[in-house]
Every structure is written in structure tokens, then in C-alpha cells.
Amino acid sequence: MPCAFEHPTANNEDCTFAVAEGDLVALAGQTWCIYHLPMSGRDGTPSPKADYGAAPIAGFNAKIFALIDESASESGHDTLDLSGVVFPGPINFTGRTMPAVLFSHAYFHGGAYFSDAQFLGAASFAAAHFADLAYFSEASFVGEVDFTDTRFGGVTSFVHAHFVQHARFAGAQFADVASFSEARFAGIVDLAGVRSVDDISFTEVRFGGRASFANVHFGEDAFFEHARFGAEAFFPNAYFGRDAVFANTQFSAYADFTDACYYGNADFSVTPFDRSAQPPMENCAFQRVSFVGAAFGRMTTFSHRPFQAASDFTRSAFVVAPVLQGCTFYEAIALPEGAA
């Protein structure tokens, strides 16, 4: 019997690993290769992989590293398919050169360390599950990267990561603190439908292409201070469970906050008279912005923020009058009455 793994992509074959039939593992009426062997069978029976200690985990990881190194060293090699691989414990890819690779539907049961890794081709972690830490700090993604519907169960870091092409995070879920601080997105980035339970940070991130945060659900604080949006920024129907911090954030094109809900403080202020600030105050103007239907539940400040093009506050609701001290408006529609 072959490995019971069913590939998540319909046009791909199932298990792609060359494993002798005698090396397959029987579990709850199914047979599995060592790579796709789950931690428990369909009836809940623990698999041998569930009992792996440090030595067996190191042996398993060595097999994965050998596959990666072989693929990375061969010019014109097909995409390395590690879809659905079940990693029994921590694995460290720090500083490794990665070929075009699929980790879609993979399950990382221990910490996964990709810090300073170089992904030379397309990389997919779509629907992967990280049960513990996931570190991609200073990783470089040369090709397109896909984290669609990925689940991050522990602390997650993309600090200083560099994305050269399209980056997809739509539907990703973060169960712990997550940080993208000082990351660089050169292409389009899609974070629509992202859900975070704890704080999430995009402080000093550079967005070179269109950025979508449509329908995001940020359960705790969301930090965007000193971020730079080089193209359109979309936050329609965004949910901010606590503070939303956009202080000194630069918007170079249209910004859409239509029907967004702010349950904590919302800070869109700009620090005045600080010529050393990055970006400078004069570069922090809203070019065109929509707050149509937005609901602000606590203190809201836009102090010293320039509005250089049309700004629409139609149907917006403020529990506390917003602070507009030092703001300049080119064309304001339905500006709230009683603003400070």
C-alpha cells in the first residue's frame, strides 16, 4: 500500500517521496511514509513519531536538510514539494539557502526557525500550521510567497524580512504576539481577513505596492507607527479590538478605512516640528482618505495630520470628539462637529 497522504493540490500526485514499501509505517489501518506520518492516527492512536526524542528529531531534520540542499544545488530543479510534511519537533533553517519550495499544509510541532534564510524561488506555506514559535526574521523571499490560511500558534516574527514580489497572507491566523516591524514589501501584499488574538506590529514597515488589510480582525493593539505605504492602503471593515496606532504613518496614495471599527484609541497623529523624524511631517499627509461609516469607540486623534486631498467622514461615528488640532484640510466631507 502507498503512503496515505493526499496532496492538497488536485493536479499534483499524492506522496512524492521515494520510500520503500517496507519502510512505510502502519497506523490505524493506513500506511504512511516517515515524512507524512501524523502524530496520531485517525482513531487517536499515537504514532511512533509522537514519541520522538531529541535524537530521532535530529535524524528526521537531517533528512529534510538533505532534500533541501540537493534541490538548491541543482540548476533547473523542480519545486521541492514538502507539502503535508509533519515535523515532530523544533527545526532550524536559520541562514539556509532555500530552493523553490512547498510547505503547504505542513505541520510544525516545535519551533520553526527560518531567520536569515534565503528563499530563491517561490515559496508556499499555505494552510501550514505552526504550533510553536515561527521566526522569519531577516528572511529574504525573492519569489512570490504564500501564507494564505496559515495558522501561527506561537510568537511569530517577520522582523526585517524582505519580500521582493507578491506576498499573500490572506486568512492567516496569529494566536500570539506577531511582529512584521521593519519588514520590506516591494510588491503587492494581501493580508485580507487576517486574524490576530494578541498584539501585532507593522512598525516602520515599507509597503512598496498595494496593501490590503480588508476585513482584518486585530484582537489587541495594532501598531503601524512610522510605516510607509507607497501605494493604496485598504482597511475596509477592519476591526481593531484595542488601540490602533498610525502615528507618523506615511500614506502616499489613497487610504480606505471605510466601515472600520475601533474599540480602543485610534492615533493618526503626526509629530510636529521634528525634522529628524522618519518620515518627515510633510510626507505624512493623507492624499485621499475614506473614513465613511467608520466607528471610533474611544479617543481619536489626527493632530497635525495634513489632509492634502479629499477626506470623507460620511456616516462616521465618534464616541468622543476627535482631536484635529494642527490639521489642515484640502476638502473635508462631513467633518465631525465639535472636533477639538
pLDDT tens across 52-66, in order?
999 999 999 999 999
- What pLDDT sits at residue 277? 53
Cα separations in angstroms, 18 against 21, 35, 72, 196, 240: 9, 11, 19, 39, 48
User: pLDDT tens digit string along 239-280?
Assistant: 999 999 999 999 999 999 999 999 999 999 998 765 555 555
Among 6-15, 226-235, 300-309, the range scoring the smallest mean pLDDT is 6-15
When pLDDT is averaged across residues 164-177 and rounded to a whole number, the result is 98
294 lies in which domain range? 80-333
Count of alpha carbons within 13 angstroms of residue 121, beta-carbon side: 16
Whether the per-residue pLDDT at 213 is higher than 60: the answer is yes
What is the helix (H) or strand (E) element at residue 61, kind and residue range? helix 54-73
pTM: 0.93
- What pLDDT sits at residue 183? 98
Tally Cβ neighbours within 10 Å of residue 330: 14
Whether the per-residue pLDDT at 3 is higher than 70: the answer is yes
Whether the per-residue pLDDT at 227 is higher than 60: the answer is yes
Number of structural domains the chain divides into: 1
β partners of residue 190: 168, 212
b vs e for 76-85, b when ≥16 Cβ sit within 10 Å of the residue's Cβ? eeeebbbbbb
When pLDDT is averaged across residues 71-85 and rounded to a whole number, the result is 84
Residue 26 lies in a domain: no
Look up cell 516602520; give the residue: 204
* Terminal alpha carbon distance of the chain: 73
* Among the listed residues 184, 185, 178, 229, the one whose alpha carbon sits nearest the alpha carbon of residue 201: 178
Residue 23 lies in a domain: no
pLDDT band per the 50, 70, 90 thresholds, residue 282 = low
Whether the per-residue pLDDT at 333 is higher than 90: the answer is no
Residue 286 lies in a domain: yes
Which residues lie closer than 8 Å to 183 by C-beta, 6 or more apart? Answer: 158, 159, 160, 161, 162, 163, 202, 205, 206
Handedness of CA 21, 27, 28, 30 (dihedral sign): negative
Residue 221 lies in a domain: yes
Residue 114 lies in a domain: yes
User: pLDDT tens digit string along 146-162?
Assistant: 999 999 999 999 999 99
Residue 237 lies in a domain: yes
- What pLDDT sits at residue 19? 86
Residue 40 lies in a domain: no
Count of alpha carbons within 13 angstroms of residue 290, beta-carbon side: 15
C-beta of residue 151 within 8 angstroms of C-beta of residue 134? no
Task: Give the chain's mean pLDDT.
Answer: 92
Residue 119 lies in a domain: yes
